[in-house]
């Protein structure tokens, strides 16, 4: 293992290697010094593809990254067939659909709502918290009161399909998180999730605009049939999402409790600041989860997605099956992240 002195020298000189947990990571490029001002948007899971299209409408016109990510994640929020985000999300064990979301811009401004009911677009309420209040987080009734006072419509988020799935779940009322179908519950008889095989988890989205500025958003209905009041990583700034306009951004998906324990997104951004490529930073993040509790890590899924100021992106996850979507002038593609297990 290299000495600390050598590590500092190599970092300061921007030479060929960066110290990771136990090994030297061969860096394929120098420390971030050259920003390519090309818009790009990336987001978690296959359904990120449709969300990216919404974000691209903003980015292609030269709009701000923060506007792009808000517009982008609104698409799955409004999609009732997506039972893990927004309208149509699976409810908690009491039958209430409670939503979590956060947003961050290029100036370290951030806003978050937790356990918000009755509002189609929690991401837009989070943005309003960011822009219209001196606070960062509003929760529960306070968040709803704020949303209604600012013109958001009160709706019933529980669709007939999600209500039916909840009533089915009540027959056994067991928590049984399934790898790759995230923190949702699995119907062993049907061999799939309530809501179908495409029902995954959170959408986390990161965008860089034509000016080279970053924005990020993260939104979810959280763990299906969770305890009322449970909040995962998604609306926790630094856990489910972090954006640092000097470095880039990171977001997370999967079992939120594991992500919060290591303050995942912030960890990954700080690793990129040290020179880690995005994929290596994400890998270090999931390895950190394993180090904290190897037994538990085998049983859950967590995926990280990151992008740096050069528009380089990467992801890593615990279990096979985490996908992410990318849209830029060069490509529109769904990638499969590498996994530890």
Residues 150-209 that bind ligand GLY (CB under 6 A): 183, 201-202
The stretch near ligand GLY (CB under 6 A) out of 35-43, 126-134, 185-193, 231-239 is 231-239
Residue 223 makes contact with ligand GLY by CB under 6 A: yes
What's the rounded Cα separation, in Å, for the pair 26 and 20? Answer: 10
Residue 82 makes contact with ligand GLY by CB under 6 A: no
Minimum Å distance from CB 203 to ligand GLY?
10
Q: Would you say 40 or 203 has its CB closer to ligand GLY?
A: 203
Q: Distance between alpha carbon 188 and the CA centroid of its chain, in Å?
A: 27
Q: Would you say 254 or 278 has its CB closer to ligand GLY?
A: 254
Q: Would you say 99 or 110 has its CB closer to ligand GLY?
A: 99
Provide the token pair at 173: 């009322």
Minimum Å distance from CB 145 to ligand GLY?
23
The stretch near ligand GLY (CB under 6 A) out of 70-78, 252-260, 277-285, 312-320 is 252-260
Quickly count helices (H) and strands (E) in the chain: 10, 15
Which of the residues 98, 202, 220, 253 is marked catalytic? Answer: 202
Residues 6+ apart with CB under 8 A from 70: 103, 123, 124, 127, 215, 217
Provide the token pair at 327: 């849209």
3-state secondary structure of 49: helix
Residue 122 makes contact with ligand GLY by CB under 6 A: no
Contacts with ligand GLY by CB under 6 A: the residue count is 13
What's the rounded Cα separation, in Å, for the pair 137 and 262? Answer: 20
The DSSP code for 192 is B
Minimum Å distance from CB 255 to ligand GLY?
6
Strand partners, 110: 104
Q: Which of 96, 43, 105 is closest to 74 using CA atoms?
A: 43
Q: Would you say 99 or 243 has its CB closer to ligand GLY?
A: 99
β-pairing verdict for 24-26 and 17-19: antiparallel
Residue 254 makes contact with ligand GLY by CB under 6 A: yes
Residue 267 phi/psi, 5-degree rounding, is -55, -45
202 is catalytic: yes
3-state secondary structure of 317: strand
Binding residue for ligand GLY (CB under 6 A) from 74, 219, 220, 339? 220
Provide the token pair at 31: 């420390």
Residue 216 makes contact with ligand GLY by CB under 6 A: no
Residue 116 makes contact with ligand GLY by CB under 6 A: no
Q: Which residues are catalytic?
A: 202
Q: Which residues bind ligand GLY (CB under 6 A)?
A: 183, 201-202, 220, 222-223, 232-234, 253-256
């Amino acid at each position: 293992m290299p000495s600390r002195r050598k590590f500092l020298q190599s970092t300061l000189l921007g030479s060929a290697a960066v110290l990771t947990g136990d090994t030297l990571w061969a860096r394929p490029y120098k420390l971030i010094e050259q920003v390519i001002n090309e818009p790009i948007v990336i987001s978690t899971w296959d359904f990120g593809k449709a969300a990216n299209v919404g974000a691209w409408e903003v980015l292609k016109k030269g709009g701000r990254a923060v506007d792009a990510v808000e517009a982008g994640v609104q698409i799955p929020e409004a999609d009732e067939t997506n039972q893990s985000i927004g309208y149509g999300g699976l409810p908690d064990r009491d039958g209430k659909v409670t939503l979590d979301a956060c947003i961050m811009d290029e100036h370290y401004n951030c806003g978050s709502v937790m356990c918000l009911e009755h509002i189609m677009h929690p991401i837009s309420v989070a943005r309003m918290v960011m822009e219209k209040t001196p606070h960062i987080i509003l929760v529960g009734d306070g968040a709803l009161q704020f949303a209604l006072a600012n013109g958001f419509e009160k709706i019933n988020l529980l669709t007939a399909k999600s209500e039916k799935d909840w009533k089915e779940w009540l027959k056994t009322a067991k928590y049984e998180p399934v790898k790759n179908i995230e923190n949702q519950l699995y119907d062993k008889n049907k061999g799939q999730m309530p809501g179908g095989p495409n029902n995954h988890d959170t959408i986390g989205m990161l965008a860089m605009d034509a000016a080279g500025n970053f924005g990020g958003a993260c939104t979810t209905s959280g763990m299906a049939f969770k305890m009322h009041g449970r909040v995962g990583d998604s609306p926790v700034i630094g856990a489910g999402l972090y954006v640092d306009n000097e470095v880039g951004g990171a977001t997370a998906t999967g079992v939120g409790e594991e992500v919060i324990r290591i303050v995942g997104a912030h960890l990954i951004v700080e690793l990129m600041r040290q020179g880690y490529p995005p994929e290596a930073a994400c890998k270090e993040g999931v390895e950190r989860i394993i180090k904290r509790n190897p037994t538990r890590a085998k049983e859950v899924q967590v995926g990280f997605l990151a992008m740096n100021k050069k528009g380089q992106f990467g992801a890593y996850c615990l279990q096979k099956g985490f996908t992410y979507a990318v849209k830029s002038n060069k490509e529109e593609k769904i990638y499969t992240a590498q996994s530890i297990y």
